Amino acid sequence: MLLEVRNLNLFYGERHVLKDVSFHVDRGEVVCIVGESGSGKSSILYSILGLLPKDSKLSGSIRFMDKELINLPEGEYKRLRGRHISIVFQEPSLYLDPLFKVGPQIEEAYRAHFREGNPKEKALMALKNAGVQDAERVYNSYPHHLSGGLKQRVCIAIATVCGPDLVLADEPTTALDVSLQGRILKLFRDMKGEGRSVLLVTHDFGVVAEVADRVLVLKDGLIVEEGSVFDIFDNPKSPYTRELLEAI
């Protein structure tokens, strides 16, 4: 088991955001979290990566590769982030630094954990794997020169350049057209084939059908249903899951 979350409770001030959330992610598995906006999907990812607001309160257990992450010292978290766990944020414009070209930003993620290898070569390969055909041009571009879809692919390149064991993906295909979405989903399937894992937040059941092994259905901070992708589509048990499927 790569990741195990047990009885996770999260408060933002007085607001109870996650309520006794428990699940796991095995090696070489893609797990999708679905649910309406505000259900707490992104908060699960931020809890795993230690990126919560200062006024938040988190309890329970998050074990990654047999290491407890709750209350983990920041120095140890820095060694994990990017190298073993990475994240693709929902809004790439807020993540990319407008003062630096794309290439050095991808290279920085690689240099933070590796001294060997050719950082530029790794950055270009990460861009190509993320569906960027003119990788050299994008490498030498500033973020504001790129479309929203290209920025998202740059963020995916940053998240995958170090070959992490687990990628947390927050609506990673929202800004992409159908063909590019397919390229990114293929990247996630390839990662699965290499024994790496993906925890993917999405509202798109087409994405779920394409890549998921298992699905978590979240409503108001509670997991109301969990099952294989076949169980969720063919035999949903929760009325809320049926509502989501009927809304497609």
pLDDT digits (tens, 9 = 90+) for 87-141: 998 888 888 999 999 999 999 999 999 988 899 999 999 999 888 989 999 999 9
pLDDT of res. 97: 94
Cβ atoms of 216 and 39 within 8 Å: the answer is no
Rounded Cα gap, residues 161 and 159, in angstroms:
6
Would you mind telling me the total number of residues written for the chain in this entry? 248
Exposure of 236 in the CB half-sphere (CA atoms within 13 A): 16
Does the structure show a pLDDT above 80 at 176? Answer: no
| β-bridge pairing 15-25 and 3-12 | antiparallel
* Residue linked to tokens 């699960």: 44
Rounded Cα gap, residues 18 and 220, in angstroms:
8
pLDDT of res. 145: 95
Rounded Cα gap, residues 84 and 156, in angstroms:
15
Summarised one tens digit per residue, pLDDT across range 9-53 is 999 999 999 999 999 999 999 999 999 888 999 999 999 999 999
Structure tokens, 25: 């992610």
Structure tokens, 8: 């996770």
Helix H or strand E encompassing 8? strand 3-12
Rounded Cα gap, residues 42 and 56, in angstroms:
14
pLDDT band with cut points at 50, 70 and 90 for residue 175: low
Alpha carbon of 236 to those of 54, 147, 223, 230: distances in Å?
Answer: 37, 38, 13, 9
pLDDT band with cut points at 50, 70 and 90 for residue 181: confident
- Going from N- to C-terminal start, the domains of the chain cover 96-163
